[in-house]
Amino acid sequence: MNPDPKSNLNSESAAAPLWLIAVFAGLLYGGMLYVDRNGGDFNAQVYAPYHSLAELQTCQPAKGGDEEVIRLGEQRYAQTCGQCHQASGLGALGQFPPLAGSEWVNEPDPARLIRIALNGAQGPITVKGQDWNLVMSLNATTLAISDKDLAAILTYVRQAWGNKAPTVTAEQIAQIKGETKGRAVQWTAAELNAVPVKK
């Protein structure tokens, strides 16, 4: 028997990788934990911001007719009136009077407002104590808008920017279209003031 002098050495060098593997496994595990906790700036709260179904539901957009009408109205307003009266409803000094807080917009009876929306307004008009003397000209696209869309626009305008006037329906639009049939020019404030309205 002549034992190989190198065998002892071999078994020692074979044992070395075991603790090395353990150290690396530990480092890897610790590294993953670190990334998991700090990676991507993720706030753990985003996973569980709600404590009950009721709480979650309070954060959902309300369903039902009115919300849909307002959304439609907001969209059509942007295409039809917003270029002049602005998304803010504040208009522009010397060019377009405001709809936010306007008495023409907020009258309980929309008979005058609907007339303005159908044919426009012209000449001297007072809005929130300020005098204007301009012409509201409506283009062909605006004049062709459906009763339903115009009702949505006016409902939106009467309930946006702090305005608090009742809804306008497509039936009310159709009725006033009937009463003003054949009219092609803008209304003056004097003509509008002569329109009988329910108080």
> How distant, in Å, are the alpha carbons of 13, 49, 192 from that of 21?
13, 41, 89
Q: Which residue is nearest to ligand HEC, using beta carbons? A: 81
> Which residue of 114, 151, 152, 153 would you call a contact of ligand HEC, by CB under 6 A?
153
Q: How far apart are CA 174 and CA 196, in angstroms?
A: 17
The number of C-alpha atoms within 13 Å of 168 and in the hemisphere containing its C-beta is 34
Contact set for ligand HEC, span 66-125 (CB under 6 A): 80-81, 83-85, 96-99, 102, 104-105, 113, 116-117, 121-123, 125
Contact assessment for residue 107 and residue 197, using Cβ atoms and an 8 Å cutoff: yes
Token readout for 103 is: 């008495």
User: Does residue 176 bind ligand HEC (CB under 6 A)?
Assistant: no
CA distance 99 to 116: 12
* Structure-token pair, residue 137: 């000209």
Rounded to whole angstroms, how far apart are CA atoms 18 and 132?
Answer: 89
Shortest CB 57 distance to ligand HEC, Å: 34
Q: Is 132 in the site for ligand HEC (CB under 6 A)?
A: yes
Nearer to ligand HEC, 61 or 127 (CB): 127
Q: What span, in angstroms and rounded, lies between the C-alpha atoms of 145 and 116?
A: 14
Closer to ligand HEC by Cβ: residue 121 or 160: 121
7 binds ligand HEC (CB under 6 A): no
Nearer to ligand HEC, 32 or 190 (CB): 190
Which positions lie near ligand HEC, rule CB under 6 A? 80-81, 83-85, 96-99, 102, 104-105, 113, 116-117, 121-123, 125, 127, 132-134, 136-137, 153, 157
